[in-house]
Amino acid sequence: MPREREGNRKTKGAPLPIVTTLQKFLKTYEKHCAQTQTSVCPAIKRDLKTSINNEQILSKFVLVRPDDSPPSILPVSLEPLLMTVQDECYMLGREISIWGLQLSNPEVARLASLLESKGRACPFTTLKLMDCRIDAWSLGRLGTALQFSSLRSLVLDYCKFGNEEIESVFSGLENNQRLRDLSLRFCGLGPQSGPRLGSAMCQSAVRELHLDGNYLQCSGALGLLRPIAEYVEMQGKDQPATAPPDTRNPPQPFQARQRASSALNQIRKPSGAVTVKTTSGKKKRKKGIKKKIKDLTEAGPWLVKLYLADNGIDGKGKEEENSLLEFTQILTRLIRYSTHLRELDLGNNVLGEAAAADILEALRARKTGKLPVLKITVTPQISSDTFRSIWENSKKSSITRKKKEKSMLLDTCAG
C-alpha cells in the first residue's frame, strides 16, 4: 500500500518540515561556497530545488563540475557540502557521489572524519568517487576511515591507483563487518593486486566485488580466488552429504564466531539495551538493538557476486598457459563448492575450449550437489555447443520457474 503523502497531513498553507529543512540547507551551502571561494555545484542546487518543489527528501548528493565551465570559474569543492551536512545536522542523506574532481587533502580529511562519526553525525552508507584524482595520503586517510565508518557500498571506479595507494583501501577492508559492495572497475589493478585483495576478502564482509576492466591476468585472478576457493572447498567437504547447503547464512569458522560475538557484545553494552519481560513471561528485546546487530556480518569470504570481465585472463605466453591451467582448477573448485556464490562474470577473457569444458563440468557437479544456481558469463570465443551448455547450466530450470509460478497462483487464489 503506498505511503501516505506528508502533504496530506500538513496544515493548509504551512510549509512542510522537509521543505523548510532543504531551503535552509541550500542557503547554508551557498554561504559556505562563498566563504571558501568555490562554486556552487549546479547538480546539487538543481536536486535541492527539485526536492523542495516536489516536497521530497533528498538522500543522494551528486557532486560534479560541469563540462562546459571555463577555467576562470571557481572550482567545485566537496568541503562546503560536508560543512553544510554537519552544520545543519542533516541526517536524511544516504549517498555521496563525486565525479571527476581533484580532491584535496583537507577535503578528504573532512570526509574521513565525517565517515568515522558513524550514526552520530554521518548517515551516509554509500560513497562513490568516480574518475577522481586522489593522492597517496588522501587514499590512506580514507582507508583508515573505512574501519570505523557505516559504509555498506564503496565505489572507486576509474580512479587510477598505484600499488602503495591501493594497499590503503585493502587495509580498510580487514575485519570490516559492514561494507557489502566494493567496486574497483578500471582502476589499473595489476597481477600483484590479486593476492592482497584475496586476503582482504577473507577478512571482510564484502559480498559483491566489481573488478571489470583491470589487468589482473591469470596470476592476479588466481591470487584473488585461491584463498576463497580453498575455504569454501573445506566447508563443502565438511558438510554432511545428506544435509542441504545453508544458502541463507554463510558458514562461519569458530574464530570468526568468537570475533563477531565479541563485537556484538561491545555494541550491546553502550547502547543501554533493556530486556523486557512480557506478561506471557517471554523476553523481548528492543527493535533498535536488533537493527544494529543485523548491520554486522562476520568477516569471511562471503562473495555472492564477482565480476572479472575484461581482465586479460587468457593463456597467451608460456607462463600464462600454466597460470591459466592453475586458475581454471581453482575457479572450478569455487564453482563446485560455494553455496553462496550466485553470479560470476568472466566476459571478455579468452579462456579457451579446455577451460570452458572444465567450467561446464563444474557447473554440472554443482547442479548434482543441489547447490544454488550460479549465473556465469563467459566469452563466446569457444565452441557453440560448450557455450550453449554453460548457458543452460547457469540458468534456473523451467521446472523450478513453473513451480514458483504455480505456487504464486495458488497463493493468490487462496487469498
Percent of the residues in the chain that have a pLDDT greater than 90, as a whole number: 60
Cβ contact 313:346 at 8 Å: yes
Q: What is the pLDDT of residue 15?
A: 58
375-408 as b/e, with b when 16 or more CB fall inside 10 Å? Answer: ebbbbeebeeeebebbbebbeeeeeeeeeeeeee
Q: Does the structure show a pLDDT above 70 at 80? A: yes
Cβ contact 200:175 at 8 Å: no
- Among 122-131, 161-170, 345-354, name the one with the lowest average pLDDT: 161-170
C-alpha cell of 137? 595520503
pTM here is 0.80
Mean pLDDT, range 73-102, rounded to an integer: 94
Q: Does the structure show a pLDDT above 80 at 246? A: no
Cβ contact 32:84 at 8 Å: yes
Q: Please report the sign of the dihedral spanned by the C-alpha atoms of residue 234, residue 239, residue 242, residue 245.
A: negative
- Among 10-19, 70-79, 113-122, 148-157, name the one with the lowest average pLDDT: 10-19
**Comparing 13-159 with 193-238+296-415, is the CATH topology the same?**
yes
Q: Give the domain 193-238+296-415 fold.
A: 3.80.10
Q: Does the structure show a pLDDT above 70 at 280? A: no
- Among 21-35, 112-126, 194-208, name the one with the lowest average pLDDT: 112-126
Question: What would you measure as the largest C-alpha separation in the chain, in angstroms?
Answer: 77
All structural domains of the chain with their residue ranges: 13-159, 193-238+296-415
The single-letter code of the amino acid at 335 is: I
294-312 as b/e, with b when 16 or more CB fall inside 10 Å? Answer: ebebbbbbbbbebbbbbbb
Rg (CA), the chain: 25
Q: Does the structure show a pLDDT above 80 at 389? A: yes
**Structural domain 13-159, CATH architecture:** Alpha-Beta Horseshoe (3.80)
